[in-house]
Chain A
């Protein structure tokens, strides 16, 4: 297969797995969009080569009641770091559920915080920049 055909095949895999939540590619696609990451940056976080992302996307989404077991199988097969794969799933599955429950009140939420006392109170909210930079894993 020539490089162009291979690239087209990979693009097709990313597109198709990105549309169905039963594939890991779906959650990876959402994570890449919400974190504004390139595939190279994502691959680095996962500890794999960029061209190995295709294999990861083709894995089934780990089952809720066998999460750790399924993550181990996925990471053994693809070489990805289990903590990084788990983090992607946890974040995107949580955000999906939270979008479903829109409420004008805090009903159902639990919020708790550890204050930082060594600075004056925030003078105003600090907005996350549009480029998504601001946090590291």
Chain B
């Protein structure tokens, strides 16, 4: 799981590109579309499932191989050749919608854009052909990748829900990363921790603040509050932990 600091840096770099900080509660759509090669498709009149996404792309003459199990979705990220789409169940309320968009965009930042940029910086733009699956890496590129600590494996899909423990562990790791980046996009950790300390907020006050000020749905706010309180406690001195 990517550390919180890395998520903060990813999100900080994103807002720097956007050029403004969206006020809270954030929807993110405008910032994402303007600052990243990503577009959002909200599906209102049909249910969002894997078949819908495949049909939507096929209608626009894009053939997407989809070996995954058919199922209903709240959101989905599709990324290829440097561009991405976020499909969103348009029947979700605004609180859940912002969390889903943030989560899928978190996948984009952490699992697609950042590794891609890093590989280009270290190995040159010719490596994009490898990342896009157009060709296999040359022996020289493989060696250079090892030396530069860059992974040249083509992207994978994280939509398998198989019983394979190795796959499940990878999916869980990736999903956890997206959750952390999403939380940082919607409710920046540093700002909330500062508010928690200055106002001596307890768990319930933190949850209320995350719901009302940052527009997070209750279960998500509860998860995030627990995480933040755990991190805040780690930074306390021994005296503070004792209540002095």
Write the residues of chain A forming the contact surface with B, with a CB cutoff of 8 angstroms.
Answer: 34, 67-68, 71, 82-83, 86-87, 90-91, 93-95, 97-116, 119, 121-122, 124-129, 132-137
> By the criterion CB–CB under 8 Å, are A122 and B50 in contact?
yes
> By the criterion CB–CB under 8 Å, are A83 and B70 in contact?
no
> By the criterion CB–CB under 8 Å, are A109 and B72 in contact?
no
> By the criterion CB–CB under 8 Å, are A122 and B75 in contact?
no
> By the criterion CB–CB under 8 Å, are B103 and A121 in contact?
no
> By the criterion CB–CB under 8 Å, are B103 and A134 in contact?
no
User: B76 at the A/B interface (Cβ < 8 Å)?
Assistant: yes
Picked from B37, B46, B157, the residue with its CB within 8 Å of the CB of A128 is B46
> By the criterion CB–CB under 8 Å, are B43 and A135 in contact?
yes
User: B201 at the A/B interface (Cβ < 8 Å)?
Assistant: no
Which has the most chain A C-beta neighbours within 10 Å: B55, B103, B111?
Answer: B55
List the A side residues contacting B103 at CB < 8 Å: 114
Bound Cα distance from A2 to B103, whole angstroms: 53
> By the criterion CB–CB under 8 Å, are B72 and A90 in contact?
no
24 pairs from A and B in contact (CB 8 Å cutoff): A34-B59, A68-B19, A83-B30, A86-B30, A87-B39, A87-B40, A90-B37, A91-B39, A91-B41, A97-B81, A108-B155, A110-B107, A110-B112, A111-B76, A114-B103, A115-B74, A116-B72, A121-B72, A125-B49, A125-B70, A128-B52, A128-B59, A134-B56, A135-B42
> By the criterion CB–CB under 8 Å, are A125 and B55 in contact?
yes
6 closest pairs, A vs B, by CB? Answer: A125-B51, A107-B133, A108-B133, A94-B83, A111-B157, A90-B39
> By the criterion CB–CB under 8 Å, are B75 and A113 in contact?
yes
List the A side residues contacting B83 at CB < 8 Å: 90, 93-94, 97-98
Least distance between A9 CB and chain B CB atoms (Å): 30
> By the criterion CB–CB under 8 Å, are A112 and B178 in contact?
yes
Given contacts A109-B157, A114-B100, A127-B51, contact A68 B74 (CB under 8 A): no
User: B78 at the A/B interface (Cβ < 8 Å)?
Assistant: yes
User: B29 at the A/B interface (Cβ < 8 Å)?
Assistant: yes
User: B184 at the A/B interface (Cβ < 8 Å)?
Assistant: no
Write the residues of chain B forming the contact surface with A, with a CB cutoff of 8 angstroms.
Answer: 18-19, 29-30, 33-35, 37-52, 54-57, 59-85, 89-90, 100, 103-104, 107, 111-112, 131-134, 154-159, 161, 174-175, 178
> By the criterion CB–CB under 8 Å, are B154 and A97 in contact?
no
Least distance between A91 CB and chain B CB atoms (Å): 5
List the A side residues contacting B55 at CB < 8 Å: 125-128
Known: A87-B39, A116-B89. 9 other contacts (CB 8 A): A91-B39, A91-B41, A107-B133, A108-B134, A114-B103, A126-B47, A128-B56, A129-B46, A134-B43
> By the criterion CB–CB under 8 Å, are B33 and A83 in contact?
yes
Least distance between A25 CB and chain B CB atoms (Å): 19
Bound Cα distance from A108 to B19, whole angstroms: 30
Given contacts A114-B104, A125-B51, A134-B43, contact A94 B72 (CB under 8 A): no
> By the criterion CB–CB under 8 Å, are A108 and B132 in contact?
yes
List the A side residues contacting B50 at CB < 8 Å: 113, 122, 125
List the B side residues contacting A136 at CB < 8 Å: 42, 44, 90
> By the criterion CB–CB under 8 Å, are A114 and B51 in contact?
no
> By the criterion CB–CB under 8 Å, are B63 and A97 in contact?
no
Picked from A98, A100, A110, the residue with its CB within 8 Å of the CB of B77 is A110
List the B side residues contacting A135 at CB < 8 Å: 41-45, 90
Query: Nearest B residue to A119 by beta-carbon distance?
Result: B72
Picked from B18, B44, B82, B156, the residue with its CB within 8 Å of the CB of A134 is B44
> By the criterion CB–CB under 8 Å, are A101 and B85 in contact?
no
